């Protein structure tokens, strides 16, 4: 039988992280692991204890409720309410998903038609771009502006110019992955104005929204006029709560969207892991207390990375877990630089398919999975790989 790739997979790009992770996992070499979004900082101990307890409870070994356990839905809704200043209800506004990316796909399947355009930033994690395509959508890219040695900035003029008659939604993340770029209040005002003017849906991937550096506040456009009815939040236990293996996320949306999101959720993964849900509820409820030391450690690692790579064309992350180095300045693409770094004991990921303008010109370094002591000396390895 001759296999013909389905049309919806024609433009699906590999994420590269899986290949690099396998290289490091199967090697006997002690690579500096900067290639994927794992984290070496453990989750809240109370959440771990609740997971162990849940593994032996019959009530947690269940498909029910299909939309997620009631306590987690209420806590997730309360969490989004506290950050936005609006009032969301767990029963009316929240569905639990099997991780954040599963939640993104479910929202896209529930809200866009084949051929609809969805605006994303450039660069954007290929997994998000792939999910737009799986849902039948067409990604439209708005490049961040790269400032070597400084933070990335949002191009509001480019955002306005990319909107066309087929544009249905924006899918935005702040801090954005992989650049660490953040939208400020003027950026969100522009987003809100355009969404209302063109009747667009706003999907916010809030997986990293509290991982902000240098005292930057968490900001949302949902309280702007006309935005509450058109904004959907998709959160995750993975990055902020450091519960990657639990595979739990949440969707908080206006009530009008819930029936279709539930329908897609039941037709897709059905339910997230039962024994993980209340542990996530514990961690999320306690996160206002447990998050600040974790964010401070991430910022410390970022600062060490910046010191190591000083003088090279890097974008300064305003938040998140990763930092980008533009290797095209040295006649390389990300894939070639990735191969070179392996010879110097560093595992890092190229970004082909992570955007139209910025993707393959960069190498991505994740600083969530290595302590400061191991990050020291990275600069000399990078410079050797660049031939400097």
**CATH code of the domain containing 177:** 3.40.640.10
Tell me whether residue 320 is exposed, middle or buried, using C-beta atoms within 10 angstroms of its C-beta: 0 to 12, 13 to 18, 19 or more.
Answer: buried
Name beta bridge partners: 381. none
What is the C-alpha to C-alpha distance for residues 183 and 307, in angstroms, rounded to an integer? 25
Give me the sign of the Cα torsion angle 86, 88, 93, 95: positive
The encoded tokens of residue 124 equal: 């954007």
Give the other-Cβ count within 10 Å of 225's Cβ.
8
Question: Domain check: are 321 and 378 in the same one?
Answer: yes
User: Max CA-CA distance within the chain?
Assistant: 60
Question: Domain check: are 220 and 271 in the same one?
Answer: yes
Question: Domain check: are 230 and 103 in the same one?
Answer: yes
Is residue 322 within a helix (H) or strand (E), and if so which, with residue range?
A: strand 322-326
Question: Domain check: are 114 and 159 in the same one?
Answer: yes
Average pLDDT of the residues in 183-201: 98
**CATH code of the domain containing 34:** 3.90.1150.10
Per-residue pLDDT tens digits for 211-258: 999 999 999 999 999 999 999 999 999 999 999 999 999 999 999 999
Report CA-CA distances (Å) from 9 to 119, 139, 165, 210, 360. Answer: 19, 14, 24, 33, 20
What is residue 359's predicted lDDT score, i.e. its pLDDT? 81
In a domain, 20, yes or no: yes
Report CA-CA distances (Å) from 100 to 19, 75, 185, 240. Answer: 22, 16, 25, 12
Question: Domain check: are 239 and 165 in the same one?
Answer: yes
Question: Domain check: are 194 and 300 in the same one?
Answer: no
pLDDT band at 19 (very low <50, low <70, confident <90, very high): confident
For residue 165, give its domain range. Answer: 47-287
Tell me whether residue 375 is exposed, middle or buried, using C-beta atoms within 10 angstroms of its C-beta: 0 to 12, 13 to 18, 19 or more.
Answer: buried
Average pLDDT of the residues in 248-273: 94
Provide the CB-side half-sphere exposure for 223 (13 A, CA): 11
Domain boundary among 287, 316, 338: 287
In a domain, 1, yes or no: no
Predicted TM-score (pTM) of this structure: 0.95
Higher pLDDT, 355 or 226: 226
Domain count of the fold of the chain: 2
Average pLDDT of the residues in 299-315: 98
Question: Domain check: are 315 and 204 in the same one?
Answer: no
pLDDT band at 21 (very low <50, low <70, confident <90, very high): low
Domain boundary among 255, 287, 319: 287
In a domain, 356, yes or no: yes
Average pLDDT of the residues in 129-141: 95
Domain boundary among 263, 287, 311: 287
Give me the sign of the Cα torsion angle 378, 307, 142, 194: positive
In a domain, 169, yes or no: yes
pLDDT band at 9 (very low <50, low <70, confident <90, very high): confident
Whether 31 has a pLDDT exceeding 80, the answer reads: yes
Question: Domain check: are 24 and 80 in the same one?
Answer: no
Question: Domain check: are 272 and 295 in the same one?
Answer: no
Question: Domain check: are 25 and 14 in the same one?
Answer: yes
CA dihedral 125, 126, 130, 132 (to 10 degrees): 30
Average pLDDT of the residues in 31-47: 92
In a domain, 2, yes or no: no
In a domain, 21, yes or no: yes
**Which residue has 């993340």 as its token pair?**
173
Higher pLDDT, 387 or 37: 387
In a domain, 121, yes or no: yes
Whether 272 has a pLDDT exceeding 90, the answer reads: no
What is residue 355's predicted lDDT score, i.e. its pLDDT? 86
In a domain, 328, yes or no: yes
Question: Domain check: are 303 and 262 in the same one?
Answer: no
345 Ramachandran zone, left/alpha/beta (phi>0; psi -120 to 50)? left
Question: Domain check: are 319 and 348 in the same one?
Answer: yes
Whether 12 has a pLDDT exceeding 90, the answer reads: no
């Amino acid at each position: 039988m001759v296999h013909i790739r389905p049309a919806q997979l024609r433009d699906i790009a590999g994420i590269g992280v899986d290949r690099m992770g396998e290289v490091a996992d199967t090697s006997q070499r002690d690579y500096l692991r900067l290639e994927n979004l794992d984290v070496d900082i453990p989750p809240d101990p109370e959440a771990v204890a609740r997971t162990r307890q849940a593994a032996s409870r019959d009530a947690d070994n269940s498909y029910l409720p299909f939309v997620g356990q009631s306590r987690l839905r209420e806590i997730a809704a309360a969490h989004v309410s506290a950050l936005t200043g609006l009032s969301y209800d767990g029963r009316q506004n929240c569905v639990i998903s099997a991780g954040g990316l599963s939640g993104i796909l479910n929202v896209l399947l529930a809200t866009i038609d084949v051929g609809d355009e969805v605006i994303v930033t450039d660069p954007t994690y290929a997994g998000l771009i792939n999910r737009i395509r799986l849902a039948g959508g067409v990604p439209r890219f708005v490049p961040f502006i790269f400032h070597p040695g400084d933070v990335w900035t949002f191009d509001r003029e480019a955002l306005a110019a990319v909107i066309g008659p087929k544009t249905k939604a924006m899918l935005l993340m702040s801090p954005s992955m992989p650049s660490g770029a953040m939208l400020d209040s003027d950026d969100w005002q522009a987003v809100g104005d355009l969404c209302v003017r063109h009747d667009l849906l706003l999907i916010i991937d809030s997986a990293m929204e509290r991982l902000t550096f240098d005292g930057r506040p968490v900001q949302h456009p949902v309280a702007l006029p006309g935005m509450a009815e058109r904004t959907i939040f998709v959160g995750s236990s993975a990055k902020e709560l450091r519960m990657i293996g639990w595979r739990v996320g949440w969707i908080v949306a206006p009530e009008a969207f819930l029936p279709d999101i539930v329908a897609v959720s039941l037709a897709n993964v059905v339910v997230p892991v039962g024994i993980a849900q209340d542990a996530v509820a514990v961690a999320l409820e306690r996160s206002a207390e447990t998050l600040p030391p974790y964010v401070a450690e991430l910022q410390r690692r970022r600062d060490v990375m910046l010191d190591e790579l000083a003088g090279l064309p890097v974008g300064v992350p305003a938040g998140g877990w990763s930092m980008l180095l533009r290797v095209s300045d040295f006649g390389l693409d990300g894939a070639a630089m990735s191969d070179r770094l392996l010879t110097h004991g560093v595992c890092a990921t190229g970004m082909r398919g992570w955007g139209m303008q910025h993707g393959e010109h960069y190498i991505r370094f994740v600083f969530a999975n290595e302590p400061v002591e191991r990050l020291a000396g990275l600069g000399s390895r990078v410079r050797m790989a660049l031939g400097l």
